[in-house]
Structure 1
Amino acid sequence: MPHALRKSPIPETHTFIIRELKEPYFDPNWHFHQEYQLFVVLKGSGTRFVGDNIKSFEEGDVVFTGPNLPHLWRSDVIYFDGNPDLYTHGIVIYLHEHFPGKDLIRKEEAIRLRHFLERSKLGLEILGNSAKKITHMMQQLLKKEGLESIIFLLQILNELMHSNEICELSSPGYTNTLKDGDTEIMNLIHAYVMDNFKQKISLKEVASIANMTPSSFSRYFKMHANKTFTELVCEVRIGYACRLLIEKKMNVSQACYESGYQTITNFNRQFKTLMKRTPLQFKKEYEETPHTHAKVASSK
């Protein structure tokens, strides 16, 4: 299992880099790096982890993350089955940690940008028309070169820092306490949960993956994830259930058992705790609300 991605992906000769990603699945490793990152999903679906936030993602998902904020876009299981007709597609932009320079960022003209970059330490999700506009601009930036590309990048940042369709993802005060060895362990845990959340997961079994006792693992996970392991499993299951309700048009009973719950009562209770509404209310609200893409199962 690779360690945390620490080395910069940006050559010393560049201010930033932009990459178009077309792979069978997105990078399945929980990781962090020193650069700011703007990422849009053009094709693919799965579960997104940013700091202590868990949420489903699909086409149109746009997120800006600050330096050293752990993140992972975990593609759905079907993307790992080797189907050549199923693939993921995205665009990512990396900016230097000190972009646009220590002198400029302190100037009065950069106040809005400084505030936006500060907010990104918790991870920012871009929504609505802003997400569509940023996606289009990122596609255009792929074709720009030289100084023109820097000017256009600044235009993208200008759109972001003036948008009122942005929400913070991680909890206020969230800080990354992970070290390289911790990232390995957390990668194993996340992979195990995503592969097994439809089944019963015992604390003893997952603790053995980390070579810890259940009590030691519980303390370890709480310290690094800012939530209990049980809460993680619950959030993954409810996020999956939300997608089943709206994308697969399943009824509540089907979504309950397909997402790993054994009883409707427990499913309804946990769903309402996370989503602030019952599964039926959630499904009805979605069907009655004009939408382009679903944005479901946000948790902090």
Structure 2
Amino acid sequence: MKVLQFTIPVAQDRAVIVQEDVMPHFYPYLHRHREAQLIWIKEGEGTLLADNQMYPFKKNDIFLLGANQPHLFKSNPAYFEAESGLKIQALMIFFDPNGALAPLLDLPEMQLIKSFLHSTNGGLRVSPAQTDLVIQKMLTVQYAKNQELIIQFLQLLNVLTQLQESSEPLAVNSSATFSESEGIRIGHIFNFLMSHYDRNITLEEVADEAHMTPQAFCRYFKKHTRQTFVAFLNEMRVNEACKKLTSGNFENISTVAYTCGFNSLTNFNRVFKSVMGYAPKTYLESYFKNIKS
């Protein structure tokens, strides 16, 4: 049996670590690391789970994840199919604001950047209108060496600080207080739900996966995610529905509803509106209107 870790060590012992991955799919397990992570999705599609918040990701999305923030990049199911030919590619910059960089961030002149890193410990997504600028800065860091790398990295942080107001926060109240065992257990539950959201999942079934009684599971899940099991599962299903609706690969909204685990179109419309704030048809019209504009 593969032994999983919740806290993953980042390989290289440097103040700023630049890593580019090209793989069939992302690492499909909830995890954290002491370093903050800036990631540019160069190729690939799927779902980001940051703490208990879900976001679809696609090519050219950029996310900043806080130090020790539990997260999971789950590639779409097609990426796990044998001989699919699909791949993910991502450029990542890791840095520990509480490690080797701490004395630098403690300088009086660095207080705006330090405050930015503290206030965004729950993560953020860079506005699509600003991704080209951030990509340019990330590439500059990637190809810099020695002291030039630190200089370019500080310029990158300065840009992110200036773009904070236009960026979207991921998890306002970060729940990065999981113990190792709790993180592994919650990660197992999340992975089970993400693998089976498209069918009926009973409370008894998921509680059994967690080796708990249904009552104990409900208390445990609410305590560690600040959401009920049903609310979390509904949000997951709506997130998947949004991706399918905007892909253009489905004939109608009803088909999307049933392939995302909803047992009726009426229930899908009700849940979708409660999560997104508007009906699926309105969401779809707004999405394609923005694409064309």
Normalised to the residue count of structure 1, the TM-score between the two structures is: 0.90
Q: Secondary structure at the match of 1:121?
A: coil
Q: What letter is aligned with 2:5? A: H
Contact residue 174 and residue 226 of structure 1 kept, 8 A = no
Q: Find the counterpart in structure 1 of residue 269 from structure 2.
A: 268
Q: Secondary structure at the match of 1:38?
A: strand
Q: What letter is aligned with 1:148? A: E
Q: Find the counterpart in structure 1 of residue 123 from structure 2.
A: 123
Offset, 1:230: 1.3
- Cα displacement string for residues 196-238 of structure 1 (whole angstroms, at most 9, x for unaligned residues): 1100001111111111111111111111112112122111110
Offset, 1:114: 1.4
Aligned pair 1:229/2:229, yes or no?
yes
Q: Secondary structure at the match of 2:72?
A: strand
Contact residue 207 and residue 214 of structure 1 kept, 8 A = yes
How many correspondences in the alignment? Answer: 289
- RMSD over aligned CA atoms reads 1.8
CA distance in 2, matches of 1:288, 1:7: 43
- Cα displacement string for residues 10-65 of structure 1 (whole angstroms, at most 9, x for unaligned residues): 41xx2111100111111111011111111111111111101121111111121111
Contact residue 24 and residue 82 of structure 1 kept, 8 A = no
Contact residue 272 and residue 280 of structure 2 kept, 8 A = yes
Q: Percent identity?
A: 28
Q: Find the counterpart in structure 1 of residue 58 from structure 2.
A: 58
Q: Secondary structure at the match of 1:31?
A: coil
Offset, 1:137: 2.5
Q: Find the counterpart in structure 1 of residue 170 from structure 2.
A: 169
Q: Find the counterpart in structure 2 of residue 288 from structure 1.
A: 289
CA distance in 1, matches of 2:10, 2:48: 22
Q: Find the counterpart in structure 2 of residue 87 from structure 1.
A: 87
> Structure 1 segments of 4 or more deviating over 3 A?
6-10, 99-104
Contact residue 237 and residue 260 of structure 2 kept, 8 A = yes
Q: What letter is aligned with 1:195? A: S
Question: Structure 1 129/265 Cα, relative in aligned 2: closer, same or farther at 3 Å?
Answer: same
Q: Find the counterpart in structure 2 of residue 34 from structure 1.
A: 34
Question: Structure 1 238/182 Cα, relative in aligned 2: closer, same or farther at 3 Å?
Answer: same
- Cα displacement string for residues 44-88 of structure 1 (whole angstroms, at most 9, x for unaligned residues): 111110112111111112111111110110111111112251111
Which is further off, 178-187 or 274-283? 178-187
Point out where structure 1 has 5 or more consecutive residues left out of the alignment: 293-300
Question: Structure 1 285/89 Cα, relative in aligned 2: closer, same or farther at 3 Å?
Answer: same
Q: Secondary structure at the match of 1:289?
A: helix
Point out where structure 2 has 5 or more consecutive residues left out of the alignment: none
Contact residue 23 and residue 89 of structure 1 kept, 8 A = yes
Q: Find the counterpart in structure 2 of residue 3 from structure 1.
A: 5
Q: Secondary structure at the match of 1:212?
A: coil
Normalised to the residue count of structure 2, the TM-score between the two structures is: 0.92
- Output aligned runs, 1:217-256, within 5 Å: 217-248=217-248, 250=250, 251-256=252-257
- Cα displacement string for residues 231-254 of structure 1 (whole angstroms, at most 9, x for unaligned residues): 221111101111111112532212
Contact residue 177 and residue 224 of structure 1 kept, 8 A = no
Offset, 1:134: 1.3
Contact residue 176 and residue 224 of structure 1 kept, 8 A = no
Structure with more relative contact order (C-alpha pairs < 8 Å, separation 6 or more): 1
